[in-house]
Structure 1
Amino acid sequence: MSKSIEQAQFEHVLTAYDCQIDQTQVSPLGNGLINNTFLVSSPESKFVLQRINHHVFKQPKQVVSNADLINDHLQNKKEAQEYSLEPMWQLKDKDGKPSVKYKEHLWRAIQFIPNCYTIEEVDCANQAHMVAKAFGEFTSALSDFPATELSEIIKDFHNLEFRMSQLADAVSQDKCGRLKQCKDLVDLCFKQHRFIDEVATYVDNLPVQVTHNDTKINNLLFANSTKEPIAVIDLDTCMPGFIMHDFGDMVRTCCSNLAEDGTALHKMELRLDIFEGLANGYVESFSGKMTPIEKDSLVIGAQLLPFMIGVRFLTDFIDGDNYFHTQRETHNLDRAKNQINLYSLLKNSRSELEAIVANA
Structure 2
Amino acid sequence: MKQTAVVICPGRGSYNREELGYLARYHADKSAFLAGIDRYRRLCGQVAITELDGLSRYSPSRHGAGENASALIYACALADFTDIDREHYEIVAVTGNSMGWYLALAAAGALDQQAAIALVNTMGSMMRDGLIGGQLVYPVVYENWRPDSAAKANLAAQMERVNRLPGCQAYLSIDLGGLWVIGANTAAIDALKSSLPPIDDRYPMLLAKHAAFHTPLLQSVAQKARELLSPDLFGRPGLPLIDGRGHIWPPLATDTLALYEYTLGHQVVAPFDFSAAVEVAIKEFAPDRLILLGPGSSLGAPVGQALIRHRWLGLEDKPGFKRRQADDPFLLAMGQEDQRSRVVRQG
TM-score, length-scaled by structure 2 = 0.31
Which one scores higher on RCO, CA 8 angstroms, separation ≥ 6? 2
TM-score, length-scaled by structure 1 = 0.30
